[in-house]
Amino acid sequence: MKRYPHSLDLQPAIRAVGTVRLPGSKSISNRTLLLAALAEGTTEIRELLASDDTHVMLMALQKLGVRWEQAGVSQDYTVHGVGGAFPTHQADLFMGNAGTAIRPLTAALAVTGGDYTLHGVARMHERPIGDLVDALNAVGARIAYTGEVGYPPLHIQRGHIHAHRMAVRGNVSSQFLTALLMAAPLMARDQAITIDVVGELISKPYIEITLNLMRRFGVEVQRDDWRSFTIAAGERYTSPGAIHVEGDASSASYFLAAGAIAGGPVRVEGVGRDSIQGDLRFVEALEQMGAQVTMGENWVEAASSGVLKAIDADFNHIPDAAMTIAVAALFADGPSTLRNIGSWRVKETDRLSAMATELRKLGATVEEGADSLRITPPAEILPAAIDTYDDHRIAMCFSLASLTGAARPGARIRINDPKCVAKTFPDYFEAFASITKDELF
Ligand SMILES: O=C(O)C1=C[C@@H](OP(=O)(O)O)[C@@H](O)[C@H](O)C1
Ligand SMILES: C=C(OP(=O)(O)O)C(=O)O
DSSP code per residue over 266-290: EEEES--TT---GGGGHHHHHHHTT
Ligand 1 within 6 A of CB of 348: no
The answer to whether the beta carbons of residues 403 and 258 sit under 8 Å apart is: yes
Ligand 1 within 6 A of CB of 205: no
Ligand 2 within 6 A of CB of 393: yes
**190 alpha carbon to ligand 1 midpoint, in Å?**
31
**339 alpha carbon to ligand 1 midpoint, in Å?**
17
**80 alpha carbon to ligand 1 midpoint, in Å?**
27
Question: Is residue 309 marked as binding?
Answer: no
Question: Is residue 203 marked as binding?
Answer: yes
Atom number of ligand 1 nearest to Cα 103: 1
What is the helix (H) or strand (E) element at residue 123, kind and residue range?
none
**What pLDDT is stored for residue 440 in this prediction?**
54
Is the overall model pTM greater than 0.95, yes or no?
A: yes
Which of 131, 248, 320, 387 is an active site residue?
Answer: 320
CA 97 – CA 349 distance, rounded (Å)? 11
| 3-class secondary structure, 300 | strand
- The closest residue, in CA terms, to atom 12 on ligand 1 is 320
Q: Which residue from 341, 423, 428 has its CB within 8 A of the most atoms of ligand 2, so it is best to mutate?
A: 423
CA 366 – CA 378 distance, rounded (Å)? 10
CA 135 – CA 350 distance, rounded (Å)? 25
Ligand that lies nearest to the alpha carbon of residue 279, given by its number in the listed order: 1
- What b/e readout covers 234-258, taking b as 16+ CB neighbours within 10 angstroms? ebbbbbbeebebbbbbbbbbbbbbb
**202 alpha carbon to ligand 1 midpoint, in Å?**
9
What is the helix (H) or strand (E) element at residue 42, kind and residue range?
strand 42-46
Question: Is residue 288 marked as binding?
Answer: no
In DSSP notation, 229-266 reads EEE-TT---B--SEEEPPBPHHHHHHHHHHHHHSEEEE
- The closest residue, in CA terms, to atom 8 on ligand 1 is 173
Which residues, 6+ apart, have CB-to-CB distance to 284 below 8 Å?
none
Strands (DSSP E) along 359-439, which ranges?
A: 365-368, 373-376, 384-386, 413-416, 436-437
- The closest residue, in CA terms, to atom 5 on ligand 2 is 99
Q: In this structure, which amino acid lies at residue 251?
A: S
Ligand 1 within 6 A of CB of 343: yes
Question: Is residue 7 marked as binding?
Answer: no
Closest CA to 389 of 356, 366, 437: 356
CA 145 – CA 132 distance, rounded (Å)? 12
Q: In this structure, which amino acid lies at residue 180?
A: L
CA 84 – CA 394 distance, rounded (Å)? 38
The answer to whether the beta carbons of residues 61 and 260 sit under 8 Å apart is: no
Which residues, 6+ apart, have CB-to-CB distance to 433 below 8 Å?
none
Q: Is 320 a catalytic residue?
A: yes
Ligand 1 within 6 A of CB of 315: no
Ligand 2 within 6 A of CB of 216: no
Per-residue pLDDT 10s for the chain (441 aa) are 567 889 999 999 999 999 999 999 999 999 999 999 999 999 999 999 999 999 999 999 999 999 999 999 999 999 999 998 899 999 999 999 999 999 999 999 999 989 999 999 999 999 999 999 999 999 999 999 999 999 999 999 999 998 899 999 999 999 999 999 999 999 977 899 999 999 999 999 999 999 999 999 999 999 999 999 999 999 999 999 999 999 999 999 999 999 999 999 999 999 999 999 999 999 999 999 999 999 999 999 999 989 999 999 999 999 999 999 999 999 999 999 999 999 999 999 999 999 999 999 999 999 999 999 999 999 999 999 999 999 999 999 999 999 999 999 999 999 999 999 999 999 999 999 999 988 654
CA 48 – CA 309 distance, rounded (Å)? 36
Q: In this structure, which amino acid lies at residue 370?
A: A
Question: Is residue 347 marked as binding?
Answer: yes
Query: Helix, strand, coil shares of the chain as percentages rounded to 5?
Result: 35, 25, 40
**What pLDDT is stored for residue 5 in this prediction?**
85
